[in-house]
Structure 1
Amino acid sequence: MSPLKITIFGAGNIGSALAVALAADPTFDVEVADGSEQALDRLRGLGCAAKTHALGREEEIHAVLAGRDVAVGAVPETALAQVAAGAARAGVHYLDFSAATARTRGLLEPLARERAVFNGCGVSPGIIGNIACNLLDTFSPVTDLTVRVGAIPRYPTNRLGYGQIWNVDGLIDEYTRPSAAIRDGKVVELTPLEDYERLSIDGVAYEGFVTSGGIEDLAIFSDSMPKNVTVKTLRYPGHLDYMRFLLDDLGLRHRRDMLKSLLYNGLPVIEDDVLLLVVTARGCRGRQPTERTICHRFSPNAACSPFNALTSVAAGYAATLLSMLQAGTIGPRGFVAHHRIDTDRLLASRFIRPLLGAPGDVRPVAG
């Protein structure tokens, strides 16, 4: 079997993490393209075997993809359409880490008739949607589904109990933009930072509340038709009060640059994080209310990745999907419904298994 030739556009954390994961496997021929020589130097400094390509300012994406099999968009969402258009013109498989927008889907629809297209292949969207859909398949009918994602420091050192784990701009978006949800079978938007809950996982206290950007494509739940779907973030207790103080009491909700500067300069970069994925389904068996919760905990593993848990799991999920494409487990064309793949099979992947801890014991906390 000849190697699958993959070009990753973007040498940031997620692009570099995916390159590190794939380049160690001889079944992949990996190239990373970026316009920043500094970013490529950081990747080379990791000892990654991937080839690098310094993108010229006027260089066309489709030209870089000549002779390649897969284009991966690991770039900011504002640049994603350019990568999608280049992949479509080059006629190669395509994967990204963001929910498909109307623009990118329009660019990719002709490509999907001939090649495999993967959208939203990180953590959220990504593996969390897969876990939720697999739970719904085994627990039906469902009236209420609550999906929680928490990437937090293993050892909190400040009152926020938080740090720079992914992206400060993305964090601000989570806390200030409406959250897609389902209420009484209809798609609605919820105000962020609401629907507060407290819970305990293996004896450690956490709080959950609504944020945006988790699972934007709620259509993935259409087969099971839960009456209500809510997507939340998990944090250590007290985090929400401090964020409301910053956003509302100090008015930084309307002064984004100041809020970004404050968080960027005040929060430490977190390398030793914990990623918690907690999904609860509620329904009835006859007249008896029934509930089932699944909790997966991920931690960094320096033996397989120099990145934190959130980045490593996102890259591991994408790498697993690409390995399935290479093996023929996933078909060679169409928009890939990766949320329908068996979760146990994904978690057993060589890219994800080393990051996975024991299932957590989740208990609600009254009050």
Structure 2
Amino acid sequence: MAQRIERVAVFGLGKVGELVAEMLTDSDFAVVGHDARATVSPDARFTARVTDVTDPAATRAALADVDAVVSCLPFHLNIAVAEAAGELGVHYFDLTEDVPTTNRVIELADQGGDAAFVPQCGLAPGLIGIIGASMAKEFDSVRSIELKVGALPQNPTGLLGYAVNWSAEGVVNEYLNDAEVLRGGLAQLVPAMTDTERVLIGGVELEAALTSGGLGTMCRTYAGQVARLDYKTLRYPGHFQQMRFLFDELRLRDRRDLVGELIVDAKPPVNDDIVYLHAAVEGVKHSKPFRENYVRGYLPCDIGGHRWRAISWTTAASAVAVVELVAAGRLPRTGFIRQEDIGFAALCDTKAGRRFAHAGR
């Protein structure tokens, strides 16, 4: 039988990792955080250690006395952590949107062992796929699943109308890597930042365009069953036109690091952010044609005596809720777990996940 989860390591104590550690503590796990600097709030309720996670020996030492690890590191560091977790029989969770990383995690899960491998536990992939798949299960038949997420400033300025509250590296990858979609039930790769459409949420005009990584494993799951499936990122109108100018007319597609530096400098993080979720399923429900929408806007909130940005707490709550479900035996404790196999109602029934049922508007 796979091990229970009582002790959890959190790798990366940045914008989201510190809150993941706090929320895991709040959910009664014993938590140790690891970071190159380990600078956390003075009143943090978990142990923080300085650890070089690029050092294989240090990574294995950090995993030696825990049952699970949640990696909140940049995507390119996750594979080494997943491989170490697999060797030591430690349950593995991450927030990545990187497709090659997830493919490697699936390979590790297929090797057997006494641990669960649950990547992509953030917002997209992650929560939005859980919501869309849960909605689809209530239909007699499904012809389309449309998923959209936007992490945005509430009060945008300039032509980009943006603030880098998430990883600049991750954003650039989403904009430049091809997006996987289903069209006619077949998986296809199409250029990111295409198929732009106008979206209205609560009277706020937004635009949505295809971006990479947001679907996780859903294309494999629904191929041949659903005619249309896609994931799009929500931005304020005109944003994608400006990004195409940056990448194409200024010829910066091959200079991703530079683009990341430029947008962080030009559009630094803000505290007054909002996270939009928009999931829509069309098909036949109760023997009649039907379209169901799940639309929410999540604002910053207070957790543990601190004000947390919307992108931070929504991402952290999604990840911690999944850890809770595995720990409670409500999800398998071995093998690869797809986000679309997680029920949204079950997620909202966890201590961390209850916020999604009550905080959105």
Q: State if a TM-score over 0.5 links the two structures.
A: yes
Q: Which residue of 2 aligns with 1:106?
A: 107
Q: Distance in 1 between matches of 2:60 and 2:251?
A: 45
Question: Residue 317 of structure 1 corresponds to which residue in structure 2?
Answer: 318
- The count of aligned residue pairs is 352
What is the SS of the residue equivalent to 2:326? helix
Verify the 8 A CA contact 2:298 2:360 in the aligned structure 1: no
User: In structure 1, the residue corresponding to 2:230 is in which secondary structure?
Assistant: strand
Please give the secondary structure, in 2, of the residue aligned with 1:86: helix
| Structure 2 unmatched ranges of 5 or more | none
3-state SS of 1:121 partner: coil
For residue 16 of structure 2, give the secondary structure of its aligned residue in structure 1.
helix
Deviation at 1:231, TM superposition (A): 1.1
**Is the counterpart of residue 347 in structure 1 residue 343 in structure 2?**
no
The alignment's TM-score, normalised by the length of structure 1, stands at 0.87
Q: Which position in structure 2 is the counterpart of 1:270?
A: 270
- Whether 1:279 aligns to 2:275 is no
Match for residue 364 of structure 1? none
User: Aligned ranges for residues 151-300 of structure 1 at < 5 Å?
Assistant: 151-219=151-219, 221-222=221-222, 225-283=225-283, 290-300=290-300
Deviations 1:69-103 (A, max 9, x none): 11222222222122112212222222112255333
What SS does the aligned partner of 1:295 have?
Answer: strand
Aligned mates of 2:81, 2:285 — CA distance in 1: 48
- Per-residue deviation, residues 115-159 of structure 1 (Å, max 9, x unmatched): 222121111111111011011111231222211111111111222
What's the counterpart of residue 66 of structure 1?
A: 64
Q: Which amino acid aligns with 2:121?
A: C
Note the C-alpha offset of 1:356. Answer: 5.6
8 Å contact kept, 2:192–2:211: yes
Residues 20-39 of structure 1: pairs in structure 2 closer than 5 A: 20-25=22-27, 27-34=28-35, 36-37=36-37
TM-score (norm. length: structure 2): 0.88
CA contact (8 A) 1:133 1:220 kept: no
Q: Which amino acid aligns with 2:145?
A: L
Equivalent AA in structure 2 for residue 48 of structure 1: A
Q: Which residue of 1 aligns with 2:11?
A: 9
Give the aligned partner of residue 302 of structure 2: 302
Q: Given that residues 300 and 355 in structure 1 are in contact (C-alpha distance below 8 angstroms), is that contact kept between their aligned partners in structure 2?
A: no
Distance 1:275 1:18 in 2: 17
After superposition, the Cα gap between the structure-2 partners of 1:224 and 1:201, relative to the gap in structure 1 and judged at 3 Å, is farther
Look up the equivalent residue of 2:47 and give its one-letter code: K
> Unaligned regions of 5+ residues in structure 1, if any?
361-367
Letter in 1 for 2:17: G
